[in-house]
C-alpha cells in the first residue's frame, strides 16, 4: 500500500511540475490551486472536502470533474469508436480558467484523450460523456437533464435540487465545504457504473427522475 501511494505521489509530482511550467508563472497560483484540489479529492474522508479560499471553488470543481471520469465506467456504445475522446461538455457559461482547461486537455483517461467544450443552449449535447451544468444555467437544468434521458451522459450540476431533477451528481458548497451528492438510480438508468471509491465520498440520493423527489 505504501509503495503504491509513493508511486502515485511521484507521478503526481512529475505531472505537477510539467503543468506549472506549461501555464507560466503568472498562472502559478491558479495552477497550484488546481493541484491542491486534486489532492483534496484523493485525501477526502466521507462526504466533505474543506475549502479555505473561495478562489479554490472552481479549481476544486474542475478537479472533481476530471477525477469523476476515473471512477465512472461508460458503456462502449457511448463512444462513436475506440479512438474517440472522452468529452466533458459545459452547458452554458464556462466558469473555468482557460489555462487550467488547456492543461487538463493534455491528459487522458483510460487511453482516451480528454476534450472540454463549452456549448451554447442551441448546441447538441449528443456525444458528451460528461455534461456539467453550472449554477448560471439553473433555470435550464431540468430541460438539459430531460434532453439527455436515454443517453449515457454523466450529468453534474452545482445547484440545490439538481439530483431531484434526475441529475446524477451534484456539487454544492455548504459551510465552506464541497459536498457530493449522487443519484444512484439516475446513474443506473444511464447505464453508468460508479466505483464504490467515489460513492463512499458521496451523499447517496434516490430520485424519481425528472420532477421526482429524493
Q: What is the pLDDT of residue 89?
A: 94
35-92 residue pLDDT tens: 544 554 555 433 344 444 556 777 778 888 888 999 999 999 999 998 899 999 999 8
Superfamily of segment(s) 2-205: Response regulator (3.40.50.2300)
Q: Which residue has the higher pLDDT, 17 or 138?
A: 138
Contact (CB, 8 A) for 163 and 182: yes
Q: The pTM is what? A: 0.75
Q: Which of 103, 117, 79, 85 is nearest to 23 (CA)?
A: 103
Q: Is the pLDDT of residue 24 over 90?
A: no
Cα distances (Å, whole numbers) of residue 174 to 96, 160, 179: 20, 11, 7
Distance CA 208, CA 214 (A): 7
138: Cβ contacts below 8 Å, ≥ 6 apart: 159
The total number of residues shown for the chain amounts to 214
Burial class (CB in 10 A: 0-12, 13-18, 19+), 93: exposed
Contact (CB, 8 A) for 186 and 211: no
Question: Which sequence spans correspond to the domains of the chain?
Answer: 2-205
82-137 residue pLDDT tens: 889 999 999 988 888 787 787 777 788 889 999 999 998 889 999 999 999 999 99
Proportion of the chain above pLDDT 70, given as a percent: 70
29: Cβ contacts below 8 Å, ≥ 6 apart: none
Contact (CB, 8 A) for 148 and 167: no
Contact (CB, 8 A) for 146 and 168: no
Q: Which of 110, 115, 111, 136 is nearest to 127 (CA)?
A: 115
Amino acid at each position: 500500500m505504501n509503495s503504491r501511494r509513493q508511486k502515485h505521489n511521484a507521478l503526481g509530482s512529475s505531472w505537477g511540475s510539467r503543468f506549472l511550467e506549461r501555464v507560466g508563472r503568472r498562472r502559478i497560483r491558479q495552477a497550484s490551486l488546481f493541484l491542491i484540489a486534486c489532492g483534496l479529492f484523493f485525501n477526502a474522508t466521507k462526504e466533505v472536502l474543506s475549502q479555505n479560499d473561495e478562489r479554490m471553488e472552481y479549481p476544486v470543481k474542475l478537479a472533481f470533474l476530471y477525477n469523476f471520469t476515473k471512477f465512472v465506467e461508460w458503456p462502449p456504445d457511448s463512444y462513436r469508436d475506440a479512438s474517440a475522446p472522452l468529452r466533458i461538455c459545459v452547458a452554458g457559461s464556462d466558469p473555468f480558467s482557460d489555462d487550467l482547461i488547456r492543461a487538463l486537455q493534455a491528459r487522458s483517461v483510460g487511453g482516451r484523450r480528454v476534450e472540454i467544450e463549452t456549448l451554447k443552449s442551441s448546441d447538441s449535447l449528443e456525444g458528451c460523456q460528461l455534461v456539467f451544468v453550472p449554477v448560471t444555467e439553473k433555470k435550464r437544468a431540468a430541460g438539459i437533464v430531460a434532453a439527455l434521458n436515454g443517453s449515457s451522459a454523466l450529468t453534474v450540476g452545482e445547484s440545490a435540487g439538481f439530483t431531484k431533477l434526475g441529475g446524477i451528481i451534484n456539487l454544492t458548497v455548504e459551510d465552506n465545504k464541497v459536498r457530493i451528492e449522487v443519484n444512484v438510480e439516475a446513474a443506473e438508468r444511464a447505464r453508468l457504473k460508479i466505483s464504490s471509491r467515489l460513492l463512499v465520498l458521496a451523499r447517496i440520493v434516490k430520485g424519481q427522475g425528472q420532477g421526482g423527489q429524493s
